[in-house]
Structure 1
Amino acid sequence: MDKLVFVTGHKNPDTDSICSAIAYAELKKKLGVNAVPKRLGDINRETEFVLKHFGVEIPEHLFTVKTQVADLNVDQAFPVSPDISIKTAWHLMKKNNIKTIPVIDDHERLLGIVTLSDITNNYMDALDNNTIASTRTTLRNIAETLNATLICGSQEDFETTGKVVVAAVEPDDLHSFVEPGDIVITGNRLDIQLKALEYGTTCLILTCGGDPSQELIEEARSRNIVLLTTPIDTYTTVRLVNQSIPVGAVMTSQNLISFNIDDFIDDIQDKMLKTRYRSYPIVDDNNRIQGFISRYHLISQRKKNVILVDHNEKSQTVNGIEEAEILEIIDHHRLGDIQTASPIFLRNEPVGSTSTIVANMFFEMGIRPSKSIAGILCSAILSDTLKFKSPTSTYVDRMTAEKLAEIAGIDDMDKYANQMFKEGSSLQGKTLKEIFYQDFKDYTFGKYRIGIGQVFTMDKEKISEMEDSLIAFMKQLCAERGYHLLMLFVTDILDQTSEVLFSGEEKELISLAFNVDLGENSVCLPGIVSRKKQVVPLISVAVDK
């Protein structure tokens, strides 16, 4: 169950679109698929009532299925704190075969990055012998890098402001090289060791496993001087000591180019090609490191997997569908214009509701839907078939709904449907835009772009009061979006009649399709309740004529 699959209905979703997506995702999960239902818009009041009635959560909104950084097989990040030594960072890179590591703060937020080149360049450029002081290297880093033992002193005593000196001269000549605050590296000569303390060294490092005398220890303690002893020889100690500087001193933090885990591949490609760094850090919305991406990762992108229910037209589906992998389509509408790269499972049946198909897939596979799933499927069938009064309704819809009602505990489907329609048809508090788009679909018929919305209501008087404003809204929409024709079917659930509000240059298509005389911006169509079966086919024929 590793591969995530999104199950989604159409834009401006109705009850059938939402409920069939939820139910089909549940069925796929029972069959071992990691399926998640999604929605492509706000749910309407009817759907909200149904989901609340049966205790089902509203699916999350899916805005796009375009390929994102999260869909790439990116490199793992091995974050470090800014105070670790470059030696430790180097070993971490070698161990994990990586060339870049992120540096993070105590809250795991990205501070900068350190590359192999940063370490080698800074190490090779370390010609000054006061690097330890300038980078504020900690005593802990020096001890770890040199595998040294702390004999006396502490970090509070380690206040180096000077340089690193190798005491390889006679004691009397040491004053020419050692100054207060210096770090002195020496062997086992007590006279040189004591002279170094006398001249103000802040840290004395004994090499070759030197065993400090009691006199030296007491003198160092009296002067609050750090005394270390390392088993490493003097030459190696000198080579290693600069590897104790913190990665925070060599990291790149200015003008750092990073990408968000949710960024789209299209948006980052140009920046990657222009800058051409080896790799780029990936962060989340809180600037926490998620990994690294390189140009070669762009060829490893994983397409998002989707199953479409209750639609099969590109204009109605999720944005970025051309970049996704469509696995299945479950629908009861005409075949649209969606194309797939390979053969898929397609189930398209001339029934009144996609939920009828989904419910019967449960039964065919011997899986009994839960009470809540049966309830929302039954509700969707009642909604899409207008309580079996729609011309799209079939005997299969009724039989399936009755079987689901029994499982869901719906004793009186007629009473429940009326309650659902009443809740869903209320226009109280809705804006013009919300009313127009609550069940709206885009269609392409040849060269014509046509939008058809539908509102089911028991309150036609409320719509009548808003008619002028709705028509003005549609006229403006035609001009802004380039529609040839916009129609809003206001369907009375009780008397099975639709009043059509329309706008656009091709309004004569309505007259041709339904053989009626048009008013200025509206016409009454008795018996017309189904957009799928009574409207879209006739408009298509009118366009062909």
Structure 2
Amino acid sequence: MSKKETLTMSHNDTIVIGHKNPDTDSICSAICYARYKEMTTGERYIPARAGALNPETSYVLDYFKVPAPVLVESVKTQISDIDIHCSAGVSKNISLKKAWTTMQDNNEVTIAAVTPDNKLEGLITVGDITRSYMNVYDSGILAEAKTQYSNIVETLEGTMVVGDPQAFFDKGKVLVAAANPDVMEQFIKEHDLVILGNRYESQLCAIEMGADCLVVCNGVEVSVTIRKIAQEKNCTIIITPYDTYTVARLINQSMPISHFMKTDGLITFEQEEYADDIRSEMANKRFREFPVLDSEGHFMGFLSRRLLLNAKGKKVCLVDHNERTQAVDGIENADLRGIIDHHRLGNIATMSPVLFRNQPVGCTATILYQIYTDHNVEIDKTTAGLMLAAIISDTLLFRSPTFTDCDRKAADALAKISGEDPEQLAIRMFSAGSELSGKTDEQILHQDYKKFNAGSKTFAVGQITSLNTDELENLRQRMPAYMEKARESEEVDMMYLMLTNILTENTILLAVGAGCDQAVSEAFHVECKNGEASLKGVMSRKKQLIPPLTAALSQ
């Protein structure tokens, strides 16, 4: 089996995906349509699959050396699909003033404090900063907050003439030395930070009383003698152009945000979380923005209620189906961009017009061949091989009643481009696909399996196509018992399994569920007894089985 391709998708990518329980047409058409869209738009289209590959499809991908499409089990809207407010985190040591300036410059109400490797440490809001300014009356809070001197210098737009900018003011209180030295001696204690002017006596007094820092206002120079004494006493000196009143107002803004930010009980969301799962949690909290993390805990940005409400969902194109019951989970939340299909019209609704191309041909790949040629887009050898394999598979090597002249024209052209002999390729594909040894009943039933609605009834149909008569006979005997269990667990009214012999062009239809025998008899005018009927010439589920069976069940 081809290795699963692993991709990182962004909200700008478009997923191209077939139905659940994908067959060869579903997989190959997803790959080929994604290639076409990328070649014609220059945008990124990701071929995807909604389930496990069957053996036939695995053989085709291995043979043409094409990676398996990425597995996408749901297209529900995730946070990664939303244009979140990308924001750079900051160090928890930056000052309140710098945080406020950052918010104003970037029109933000919340900023995140992060570690050097971008892990979230805390959050601070505009409200937190304003409250810190309005509610603080404690002269010792600057030390309590362990304020770095570099923050004080930056906040006061000053110059440090003595001291280490990386050191911390973590003891003492802040006071303004407005009195003469005799009075100052009664108030200044060891480790204090003193705001003062140009008076030599006051500066000397503060140093002698054990102050840890002098903030000299009005940009006045400090004498060499004071600097020397300060150095000897390990007293920092900062000169600021501001006056005493302004310094007293500003200095608390030099405190680090770590002292005021929220660190406990933070509500965070991961990029992979589904939008539906977080709506109620966001609605019940008063926060304006919520931090978004990647799978390794790195901070990515903020998500607001407004951004969540405006989310459009994943961009998706559907191939080889247009029924909601067959589509990948979450299709109702997706931003559906297009549908390429050859089945009956289903029940997928869209909010706005989308590209929809549906033709009565035997294979979706036939439509893709027409799209390529209509727009003069080159079909390379590998793409041609994938399209040819899809047509061979869906039309059972041109034996199915769904086969049309359009399929014949496409197959002939694609065989020529790819250099493949359709009959030889078909033998290898069908042999790989009918190799059921070692498979469980569940794997066999769901190898090519779809669900349908008819009136008030729900039913499911699986199909096994094989060149081996003995293998089909073995399935005829062993599968009914498991089908009944599967019908109950999957909560469908009826379940059918087509055992189609490619060589004889006949199908044995197995049926379980109340009223299934009668429905088959009415639909095909044959005897259906004990959940089994022989349908001669019936090979196509889409064209020969589903329409009459749906009509019978709808009565």
Q: Shorter-chain TM-score: which interval?
A: over 0.9
Shift of 1:407: 1.2
The alpha-carbon deviation at position 390 of structure 1 amounts to: 1.6
1:259 aligns with 2:253: no
Task: Tell me, in whole angstroms, the C-alpha distance in 1 between the residues paired with 2:347 and 2:402.
Answer: 22
Matched letter for residue 130 of structure 2: T
**Paired residue total:** 544
Cross-structure match for 2:514: 505
Q: Which of 28, 37, 56 is residue 28 of structure 1 equivalent to?
A: 37
1:276-303 deviations in Å (ceiling 9; x for gaps)? 3222222222232333233333442224
Q: Which residue of 1 aligns with 2:290?
A: 280
Say if 1:160 and 1:202, in contact at 8 Å, map to a contact too.
no
Q: CA deviation at 1:432?
A: 2.4
Q: Answer with 401-410 or 284-293: which moved more.
A: 284-293
Pick one of 181, 194, 202 that aligns with 1:192.
202
In structure 2, how many angstroms separate the alpha carbons of the residues matched to 1:136 and 1:426?
72
1:490 match: secondary structure: strand
CA shift, 1:49, in A, is: 1.7
Instruction: Identify the residue that residue 7 of structure 2 maps to in structure 1.
Output: none
Q: Distance in 1 between matches of 2:336 and 2:221?
A: 73
- Corresponding residue to 2:440 among 431, 438, 447: 431
Change over 3 Å in CA distance of 1:94–1:118 after alignment to 2: same
Structure 1 residues without counterparts, runs of 5 or longer: none
- Classify 1:485/1:4 alpha carbon distance in 2 versus 1 (closer, same or farther; 3 Å): same
Q: Alignment RMSD, CA only?
A: 2.3
User: Greater shift after overlay, 381-390 or 261-270?
Assistant: 261-270
Amino acid at match of 2:134: M
Residue of structure 2 equivalent to 1:484: 493
Q: Which shifted more, 183-192 or 518-527?
A: 518-527
Provide the residue aligned with 1:114 in structure 2: 124
Match of 1:181 among 185, 191, 206: 191
Q: Equivalent residue for 1:14?
A: 23
**Aligned residue number for residue 40 of structure 1:** 50
1:362 is matched by which residue type in structure 2? Y
Mapping of residues 201-220 of structure 1, within 5 Å: 201-220=211-230
What stretches of structure 2 of length at least 5 have no aligned partner?
A: 1-9
Per-residue deviation at 1:190? 1.7
> What secondary structure, in the 3-state scheme, does the structure 2 residue paired with 1:176 have?
coil
The more displaced of 400-409 and 51-60 is 51-60
How far, CA to CA, are the matches of 1:158 and 1:85 in structure 2?
A: 13
Counterpart position of 1:152:
162
Question: In structure 2, what is the Cα distance between the partners aligned to 1:401 and 1:151?
Answer: 85
In structure 1, the partner of 2:526 is 516
Instruction: Read off the aligned partner of 1:454 and give its amino acid letter.
Output: Q
What residue is the counterpart of 2:134 in the other structure?
124
Q: Give the conservation status (yes or no) of the 8 Å contact 2:95–2:255.
A: yes
Q: Which moved more, 1:393-402 or 1:77-86?
A: 393-402
Contact kept, 8 Å, 1:157 with 1:225, in 2: the verdict is: no
Q: Which of 5, 8, 14 lines up with 1:5 in the alignment?
A: 14
Distance 1:171 1:343, change over 3 A: closer
* Counterpart for residue 431 of structure 2: 422
Q: 1:197: how far off?
A: 1.6
Question: Measured at CA, do residues 151 and 62 of structure 1 come closer, stay the same or move farther in structure 2, by a change above 3 Å?
Answer: same
Worse-superposed segment, 349-358 or 150-159: 150-159
| Other structure's SS at 1:330 match | strand
Structure 1 CA distance, aligned partners of 2:173 and 2:473? 88
User: Quick one: distance in 2 between partners of 1:541 and 1:202?
Assistant: 92
- Counterpart for residue 59 of structure 1: 69
Distance 2:349 2:215 in 1: 73
User: How far off its partner does 1:173 sit?
Assistant: 2.5
Say if 1:484 and 1:506, in contact at 8 Å, map to a contact too: no
What residue number does 1:133 align with?
A: 143
Q: Retained in 2: the 8 A contact 1:491–1:497?
A: yes
What's the counterpart of residue 471 of structure 1?
480
SS in 2 for 1:456: strand
Asked if 1:334 is matched to 2:344, the reply is yes
Inter-CA distance 458–177: structure 2 relative to 1 (3 Å threshold): farther
1:353 paired with 2:366, answer no
Q: Distance in 2 between matches of 1:158 and 1:62?
A: 53
Q: Which residue of 2 aligns with 1:397?
A: 407
Partners of 1:142 and 1:244 within 8 A in 2: yes
Q: Residue 464 and residue 138 in structure 1: after superposition, are their counterparts in 2 closer, same or farther (change >3 A)?
A: farther
Distance 1:344 1:186, change over 3 A: closer
Maintained 8 Å contact 1:99/1:115: yes
SS in 1 for 2:360: coil
Question: Following TM superposition, by how much is the alpha carbon of 1:3 offset from its aligned partner in structure 2, in angstroms?
Answer: 5.6
Q: Separation in 2 of the partners of 1:159 and 1:102?
A: 24
- Tell me if structure 2 keeps the 8 A contact 1:157–1:226: no
Residues 424, 84 of structure 1: alpha-carbon distance in 2 compared, 3 angstrom cutoff: same
Alignment check: 8 A CA contact 1:303 1:323 kept: yes
**350-359 or 288-297: bigger deviation:** 288-297
Q: CA deviation at 1:9?
A: 1.2
Per-residue displacement from partner, 1:203-238 (whole Å, max 9, x unpaired)?
222221121212111112212222222222221112
> What CA deviation, in whole Å up to 9, does each residue of 1:323-371 have, x standing for no partner?
3343332211122222333444332222211101111211122222111
Contact 1:147/1:230 (<8 A) preserved:
yes
Matching residue of 1:243: 253
Flag the 1:194–1:158 CA change in 2: closer, same or farther, 3 A. Answer: farther
Structure 2 length-normalised TM: 0.92
Aligned pair in 2 of structure 1 residues 366, 495: CA closer, same or farther (>3 Å)?
same
Residues of 1 paired with 2:377 and 2:206: CA distance?
85
Alignment of 1:268 with 2:278, yes or no, is yes
Whole-Å Cα distance in 1 between the matches of residues 269 and 168 of structure 2? 40
Asked if the contact 1:437–1:453 (Cα under 8 Å) also holds between the matched residues in 2, the reply is yes
Task: Specify the SS of the correspondent of 1:242.
Answer: helix
Displacement after TM superposition at 1:88 (Å): 0.4
| Residue type at the aligned position of 2:434 | S
1:73 CA drift (Å) = 4.1
Check whether the contact 1:149–1:228 (CA below 8 A) recurs between aligned residues: yes
1:441 equivalenced with 2:418 (yes/no): no
- Asked whether the 8 Å contact 1:108–1:289 carries over to 2, the reply is yes
Structure 1 stretch displaced more, 227-236 or 452-461: 452-461
**Relative to 1, partners in 2 of residues 1:160 and 1:175: Cα closer, same or farther, differing over 3 Å?**
farther
Percent pairwise identity: 39
Q: In the TM superposition, what whole-angstrom CA distance separates every residue of 1:146-189 from its partner, at most 9, and x where no partner exists?
A: 12222222257645311112222221222321222211222112
Q: Secondary structure at the match of 2:15?
A: strand
Amino acid at match of 2:498: F
More displaced, 174-183 or 137-146?
174-183
Relative to 1, partners in 2 of residues 1:242 and 1:490: Cα closer, same or farther, differing over 3 Å? same
Compute the displacement of 1:519 (Å).
4.3
Specify whether residues 392 and 159 from structure 1 end up closer, same or farther in structure 2 by C-alpha distance, changes over 3 A only: same
